[in-house]
Amino acid sequence: MVKRTVPRFFFHVFDDVVIHDDDGLELADAEAARRAALAGARSLICDQVKEGRLKLHHRIEVEDEAGVEILALRFGDAIEIETDRL
Amino acid sequence: MSTTALEAEGPLCGGGSPLVTKLETVARLTGEDRLALAALCEDPRDMGARRNVIREGERPDHVHLMVEGWAARYKLLPDGSRQITAFLIPGDFCDFHITILREMDHSITTLTRAKVAYIPRSKIDEITERAGIARAFWWATLVDEAVLRAWIVNVGRRDAFEAIGHLFCELYVRMKNVGLTTDHHFELPLTQEELGDALGLTPVHVNRVLQRMRADELISLKSGVLTIHDYRRLEAAAGFNPNYLHLADPPGLI
């Protein structure tokens, strides 16, 4: 068995309930983890919108294997919002 | 289900032939039918994980049959992303009638180390002259189509939680039917990315649903083994009805 050298990142989702990720995902590097968090936030937002709500303060926090937070992404920062009302 | 009769009749793939295990739950097979089916599993190719069995554009010269391990049918998109359209487990034909077509319109890859039987068309023609086997293969083909219909419903109409729950229930029932479950756990060697590619979800989204299912004490997924702690509750949450798998209990449906 070849020892895996791919780093693992943990994606804790803070929405209606706090979901602590104990399993993590194997990704090439921190940049890949950032892209995964962005895509993940956008797809979680889709689920919210389908139910007729959008909670922009929900967030995903990404930790590396050492438990160091490398990113905190608010859903509101994962999308551009345009409106004609200020 | 009993495999004793088969073991008594010949070594070949013996009681370990997942194809026989799968088909004899629904079909009335004679001893000769079983031997002929088990012979199809003889001398499979050993393949590593994530190896192409056949790729889009290639000419299908053989019918591929999963003897051990997992594979997936998939389509690559121009942007490099992938949609998985089937998970193939032991006893599944990758495509029973594929040699009729000139070229593959999709690809098949192993997901784990696997044993895959490469069966020439002539052998399929020969074996389907047996009425019981021909009927059993039609059953398998129709069930494959029914699974694809269920997946379309899953991707099109269910939310992420329901869709993953539905897929887990389906895989549990299919694995159970080939004798690869113990109580309510079975090997599920799929990464979150592969689950996402099957359901049109991002890996982070899949991860979040799995963590929620675990927090709800529905399942646990550790080291490639899925344990369903509360099958009835998962089934209800996912809206899963196994009718489309057309299994018979007791055996002898067709």
User: Tell me: the pLDDT tens digits for A43-64?
Assistant: 999 989 988 999 999 999 999 9
pLDDT band at B107 (very low <50, low <70, confident <90, very high): very high
Q: How far is A81 from B106, CA to CA, in rounded Å? A: 38
Q: Which residues of A touch B49 (CB under 8 A)?
A: none
- pLDDT, position B15: 55
The β-bridge relationship of strands A25-26 and A18-19 is: unpaired
CB B63 within 8 A of CB B93: yes
| pLDDT top residue among B19 and B9 | B19
Q: How many residues does chain B have?
A: 254
The C-alpha angle with vertex B167 and arms to B26 and B52, in degrees rounded to 5, equals 85
- Which has the higher per-residue pLDDT, B10 or B98? B98
At B50, is the secondary structure helix, strand, or coil? coil
Report the distance separating Cα B204 and Cα B214, nearest Å.
15
Of A13, A26, A50, the CB nearest to B208: A13
Query: pTM of the entire structure?
Result: 0.88
Amino acid B5: pLDDT: 38
How do residues B161-208 score in pLDDT, each as one tens digit?
Answer: 999 999 999 999 999 999 999 999 999 999 999 999 999 999 999 998
Average pLDDT over residues B14-40: 86
Is any Cβ of chain A less than 8 angstroms from the Cβ of B221?
yes
Q: How many CA atoms lie within 13 A of B62 on its CB side?
A: 15
A20, A23, A40 ranked by CB distance to B205: nearest:
A40
Q: How far apart are CA B27 and CA B9, in angstroms?
A: 18
The first and second tokens of residue A9, run together, are 């990142």
Q: Considering only alpha carbons, which residue of chain B is nearest residue A9?
A: B204
Which tokens go with B89? 């487990």
**Confidence band of A86 (pLDDT split at 50, 70, 90):** low
